[in-house]
Chains A and B, each alone.
Chain A
Amino acid sequence: DAGVIQSPRHEVTEMGQEVTLRCKPISGHDYLFWYRQTMMRGLELLIYFNNNVPIDDSGMPEDRFSAKMPNASFSTLKIQPSEPRDSAVYFCASSSPGGHTDTQYFGPGTRLTVL
């Protein structure tokens, strides 16, 4: 398996622009997580899905952030409009609980810079 795939790997945009980050989870995994990582706040959970349904979006910072999972193999995180304080590395992770662990498998991340 290729693992969790994220695109783009790097994104540089200007304040006010819309940004869309993409994620393809590991095939067969029924949980998908979006995280944001900064030096100051570490790794923060933004939202997670189970079987394509959003379960907990309490970590989404504000209405400018939205996430969708139209099918089991694709999810997007959208920021509109973007602001400089959104600059961070955004990770997608997937997992398949029910085995002996609830291990999360992370993608390589998207480094977002908002100028």
Chain B
Amino acid sequence: SQKIEQNSEALNIQEGKTATLTCNYTNYSPAYLQWYRQDPGRGPVFLLLIRENEKEKRKERLKVTFDTTLKQSLFHITASQPADSATYLCALAKGGGATNKLIFGTGTLLAVQP
């Protein structure tokens, strides 16, 4: 079955630096991959989606890359701010036609220090 690995340890960075979060998967390449943000006590909120035929996607200070050879996605936040502190989840769309069925990683906690 598909396994997703995200850094279980918190990532601490200084304000203004670029945060890079990693999502690795072990089995089939998904049709697409999504990144969500989750704040304490709240549900996940969608950030970005990247499809298997796309190498990179950007949205404001966010950038996602997708390498199907390495079976890895990287999520970058440039010019990070304390308000970016949250848990970031990656989610893969299961193949075989069930593209709405997402498998989530356990998330990486990002802490941006002022």
Residue-by-residue, is A64-98 near B (CB-CB < 8 Å gives 1, otherwise 0)? 00000000000000000000000000010101010
- Residues of B with C-beta under 8 A to A105: 46
Q: Which of B34, B41, B42, B102 has the most CB of A within 10 A?
A: B102
Please report the C-alpha to C-alpha distance between residue A104 and residue B32 in the assembled complex, in whole angstroms: 13
Residues of A10-35 at the interface with B, using a CB-CB cut-off of 8 Å, are 31, 35
Query: Chain A nearest CB: distance from B60 CB in Å?
Result: 17
Closest to B105 in A: A42
B101's partner among A48, A101, A103, A109 (CB-CB below 8 A) is A48
Task: State which of A35, A102, A108, A109 has its C-beta within 8 Å of the C-beta of B100.
Answer: A102
Cβ of B106: which chain A residues have Cβ within 8 Å of it? Answer: 41-43
Task: Tell me the residues in window 7-46 of chain B with beta carbons closer than 8 Å to chain A beta carbons.
Answer: 32, 34, 41-46
